[in-house]
Amino acid sequence: MTQILIVEDEEKLARVLELELGYEDYQTTIATDGQRAFQLLQENQYDLVLLDIMLPGISGLEILRRYRKTNTATPILLLTARDEVHDKVSGLDLGANDYITKPFQIEELLARVRAQLRQTGPANSQQDQLSYQDLTIDLQSRDVTRNGEIIDLTPREYDLLTFLLQNKNQVFSRDQLLDKVWGFDYAGDTNVVDVYIRYIRNKIDKPFQKVTLQTVRGVGYTIKDVKQ
């Protein structure tokens, strides 16, 4: 059964999340303060974490920072207040997969949970690696290598590359990539996608004289299988 850790100090909200996720056949554990949450994360393996930013003891962002040092694969969905724009950006930069703003509709939260779990699968059956030609991504360590050489990607570059590689042969528009990689609530310029595509190409393609990320004019970007 899929294991979800709910880290939320508002006990009524935590209980609602527990009930709603239970109705969807998820197994849940609740932590109402940062110290307890971090202890549980050290002692157990979860398929997904719902993490409130404002917590007593240890803040959600600090938990996220510490946890990503040892676990870079488990999806983390931040629960944020409407005016915490800086914290949302900081959370994504620290390795959060997505965020949802309070107050939220439970249907939207459940949809985001399902989307993250579709990408990763259960913790015990998660695919270990993605490969394309001589490019390899280790989904557990988040190491990216090409021809045996380690490539240093930022968390956002890694997420974008991984998403496209997990969905090979599908063309995604800038808006779709913003939704899937940056998050549903991202309100920035779509040109940020072009910027990050260029960053990735300069790291994984240009030094090796390869072509991985392909542009489909007037549509968006894709990674296509090489025809033999």
The pLDDT tens digits of the residues spanning 131-163 come to 888 999 988 788 999 988 999 999 889 999 998
49 pLDDT tier (thresholds 50, 70, 90): very high
- pLDDT tens-digit profile of 90-133? 888 888 988 888 888 999 999 999 988 887 655 444 457 888 88
Could you tell me where the DSSP H helices lie in the chain? 11-23, 34-43, 60-67, 85-94, 106-120, 155-166, 174-177, 191-204
**Residues with Cβ within 8 Å of residue 123, at least 6 apart in sequence:** 3, 45, 46, 47, 74
Residue pair 23/15 in contact by the 8 Å Cβ criterion:
no
Cis peptide before 103 (omega within 30 of 0): yes
Mean pLDDT value across residues 176-201: 83
- Give the β-pairing of 149-151 and 98-101: unpaired
β partners of residue 193 = none
How large a percentage of the chain has pLDDT more than 90?
A: 50
Question: What are the b/e assignments for 107-145, b being 16+ CB within 10 Å?
Answer: eebbebbebbbebbeebeeeeeebebeebbbebeebbbe
Place of tokens 């390795």: 95
Q: Which domains does the chain have, with CATH numbers?
A: 3-120 (3.40.50.2300), 129-222 (1.10.10.10)
Distance CA 158, CA 178 (A): 14
Report the distance separating Cα 108 and Cα 113, nearest Å: 9
Half-sphere exposure for 144 (CA within 13 Å, toward CB): 18
